[in-house]
Amino acid sequence: MLDWLPYPHDFSAQLRDAVRADSAAERVGRLIALSQYRLDFLQTIQLNRAMDTILLQAGEVLPHYRLAILGSATVEHLAPAIRVAALRRQLWVDVYCCGYGQYRQEIMDPGSALHRFAPQTILFSIATMHAVPAVEPAATADEVDRLTGGVVEDLKSLWRRARQDLGAAIIHQTLLNVTEPLFGSFDRLVPGSPWRVVERLNHFLAETASAEGVSLLDIARAAQRDGQDSWFDAARMLQAKQEIAPQSAPMYGELVARLLGAHRGKSRKCLVLDLDNTLWGGVLGDDGVTGLVLGQGSAAGEAYLGVQRYARQLKERGIILAVCSKNDPVAAEEAFSSHPEMILKRSDIAAFMANWDDKAQNLEAIAGQLNIGLDSLVFLDDNPVERARVREALPVVAVPELPDDVSGYVRRLADAGYFEAISFTMEDQQRASQYSQNVERESMRGSAQSVDEFLQGLQMFVQYGPFAAVDLPRVTQLINKTNQFTPTTRRYSAEQIANYLSTAGTINLQFRLRDRFGDNGLVSAMLMLPVEGAAGCIEIDTWVMSCRVFGRQLEYEAMNIAVETARCNGIREIIATYIPTQKNSVIRDLYPKLGFRAANLPNQNPEASRWSLLLSEYIPCATHITREVRRP
């Protein structure tokens, strides 16, 4: 388990040094570094305890995030692994575990410790033995559906209650199918067999979770992958009422943290591929295009095809692909265009860096070219020296350990779960081609005489309007994934956003941008909330814009539209806040640029600045973007 992470060197000494480091930032930084290693069950407990010893100082360095685990069995032993895996993603999580089997009471009782804890996310960890209804082997399919459907309906009402009363995002774990064969292989054909009943429960769970916007933690799938015995140990269930065996706790924590990370925009966005002995066998510079091992007819050649096929699938679900290789650039491009067995085409690659420079430098250049953070990159390279070098120079880039043999590359990359998703939107499907279009746009920028000429030549159109129901998944994704163009960096769940929409006086706008090279999709969203006790005044609570469309004047046109919309709603003044983070300095001057004045308003955060715009003073900005009425 966790075998994409490298083993630590002298873990105990590193841990000791970490808690003794000079400053809080240094201590937290060292613990984050340690969390990047492949830690076993005992080391995980040790790192978790070290987090506790520096708890007080850490709040200044990383924001705390509250997770409640509502378990029907013992779950306390899972908390350290969840916290360590979250730390791996630079998330500091405080965990609350409900009393054994007390989850229902704690949700219902507004005075419970759960309510006092005020979790931002609730993880329902209901053990199979507690969820399975009593079903006779002779039960008909309809009876099984009625009983299992009833169990899931009951869970659904708990989700709704928890969401409504606590305002928390919900995660529910799938059921480990730890049933023993009753009929043997025939189990699969008998509706009332224990195995079938659990499968049916998981089926309804997935259907209902999807309809309710609940994220599934698929431990059933993970147990299938790792082997049921490593996840469930009858001895532990008997001794400590643990459904999840302690040795699987690190993986359980990793799976939970992937979801927490995905909710907070921490999933990786881009796969950067080495070429020689990663995408094909052999060394291009020595063997030439015709000498490469790639394609049908050889086991190794087919294995490299497998790597390409998986990368291609990732691209189709919205992961950006890039190349970073020590190679001659012309030869590398030629291999893409002229090798007949290549599954990946040059047009699949949004950023192509083949040269003799240091790979860490090239990765920085790739992040810059794509306008995404280094912490969005995964770097796949067969060479352990290069991997170690990149980890050393750029610790925020994910660099999976690879097995010696290429036959295991795809599985290892998949196991690492870098690209965990909680939704799959139209924008995801089109993203990769949008990045390729950006490469074309940039080459046009190079030939344009001026920025103005470039922007005019793009022939941009904006479509805008209030959020429609169909926009909500993408708007939620944008609000939670955007790290740069986000003046307040507030994160909201889909249900919170839906709640705002029904709040009187709220103005919300979404913007889509297309140009002659293609449609960028929904790239910006703005949420303005009425200011209490100040009629005619509204505040920009949240405004996000995809980094793909920076530098296209969309922020100006969006503000023109926002001001007109506000005027139609009788608004006289728009208030705005800029809260600096490590990542949003690109819009430090956003509001003054748009004509806002510094406002002397109460400020909870001393770092933040407040801004005000009197609509009577607003002068619309001329842009090269034409407005379009939204298609119905």
Q: Where on the chain is the footprint of other proteins (CB under 8 A)? A: 12, 40-43, 45-46, 49, 76-77, 235-236, 238-240, 242, 246-247
DSSP code, position 111: T
The answer to whether the CB of 556 falls within 8 A of the CB of 594 is yes
Q: In what order do the strands lie in the sheet with 320-326?
A: 349-355, 320-326, 270-273, 377-380
In the complex, least distance from residue 41 CB atom to other proteins, rounded to whole angstroms: 7
For other proteins, the closer of residues 45 and 155 by Cβ is 45
Q: At what angle do helices 426-447 and 299-316 cross, to 10 degrees?
A: 90
- Give 469-475's long-range contacts (Cβ < 8 A, gap of 24+): 471/510, 471/522, 471/525, 472/497, 472/498, 473/423, 473/425, 474/425, 474/426, 474/427, 474/521, 474/522, 475/510, 475/522, 475/525
**Pairing between strand 215-217 and 377-380?**
unpaired
For other proteins, the closer of residues 47 and 144 by Cβ is 47
Q: Considering Cα of 564, then 568, then 570, then 575, what sign does the dihedral take?
A: negative
426 vs 431: CA distance, rounded Å: 9
In the chain, the amino acid numbered 344 is L
In the complex, least distance from residue 81 CB atom to other proteins, rounded to whole angstroms: 12
508 vs 506: CA distance, rounded Å: 6
In the chain, the amino acid numbered 384 is P
In the complex, least distance from residue 372 CB atom to other proteins, rounded to whole angstroms: 39
Q: 297 Cβ partners below 8 Å, 6+ apart?
A: none
489 vs 142: CA distance, rounded Å: 48
For other proteins, the closer of residues 42 and 614 by Cβ is 42
Task: Quote the distance between the C-alpha of residue 590 and its chain's center.
Answer: 26
In the complex, least distance from residue 71 CB atom to other proteins, rounded to whole angstroms: 14
For other proteins, the closer of residues 46 and 57 by Cβ is 46
In the complex, least distance from residue 38 CB atom to other proteins, rounded to whole angstroms: 14
For other proteins, the closer of residues 49 and 64 by Cβ is 49
Q: 547 Cβ partners below 8 Å, 6+ apart?
A: 371, 372, 482, 484, 485
For other proteins, the closer of residues 19 and 498 by Cβ is 19
For other proteins, the closer of residues 239 and 456 by Cβ is 239
In the complex, least distance from residue 233 CB atom to other proteins, rounded to whole angstroms: 9
In the complex, least distance from residue 14 CB atom to other proteins, rounded to whole angstroms: 14
For other proteins, the closer of residues 76 and 628 by Cβ is 76
In the complex, least distance from residue 445 CB atom to other proteins, rounded to whole angstroms: 57
